Amino acid sequence: MGGAARGSAAADGGGAAPHDAGDAAVGGPRGRDRAFAARERAAAHYAWRSRPGSRRSAANRDLVDDIRRVHRDTRGRYGSPRIHAELKDQGRGASRGRIERLMRRHGSRAIMARPRRVRTTDSRHDLPIAPNLLDRNFIATAPNRIWLADITYIETDQGWLYLAAVMDLYSRRIVG
């Protein structure tokens, strides 16, 4: 069953370090090797800092400038979908996801409009309130004895329209 490889740590691709490997195999370099690694990391860091930016980062900087210009021109109302459409109309090609990511990274957010709520009832008044004559008794014994009324509003292109209806409770027909 497996021969010599059975039970060996090297058989399954490694894992245990040999006993004479010291810290190098387990915890990294030691002594002089550690100082060399630190110098190497510092040199790599300074080389990275002095390296010119990539074409992508330069393009992102230009794109962020364009995003900020459109965002400012629209007084902060446009989010990434509309900014994407605006830049596309201007001939600036970038994906919506890229614009969204750059806006998020640089803190540009659209101003969210508060939801419009039409308030039709104002209960904060001292005016007299009509008495409840039905007292939840919705059974009519003859026509034209009990009428119910309601009003609603409908938003249209020209503005709000109000619809009022009066129903005879006995026949269930609209009478006005």
Question: Per-residue pLDDT averaged across 109-137, rounded?
Answer: 83
pTM of the model: 0.43
Pairing of strands 147-156, 159-168: antiparallel
Gap between the Cα atoms of 105 and 131, Å rounded: 60
Q: Return the higher-pLDDT residue of 118 and 139.
A: 139
| CB atoms closer than 10 angstroms to residue 22 | 11
Structural domain containing residue 70: 55-105
Q: Is the per-residue pLDDT at 52 higher than 50?
A: yes
State the total domains in the chain.
2
Q: What is the mean pLDDT of the chain?
A: 80
Altogether, the residues listed in the chain come to a count of: 176
- 143 & 120 share domain: yes
Percent of the chain past pLDDT 70, that is, above it, reads 81
Domain membership of residue 37 (yes or no) is no
Q: Judge if 67 and 124 occupy the same domain.
A: no
Q: How far apart are CA 41 and CA 50, in angstroms?
A: 14
Residue of 78, 79, 80 lying closest to 97 (CA atoms):
80
Do 123 and 142 lie in a common domain? yes
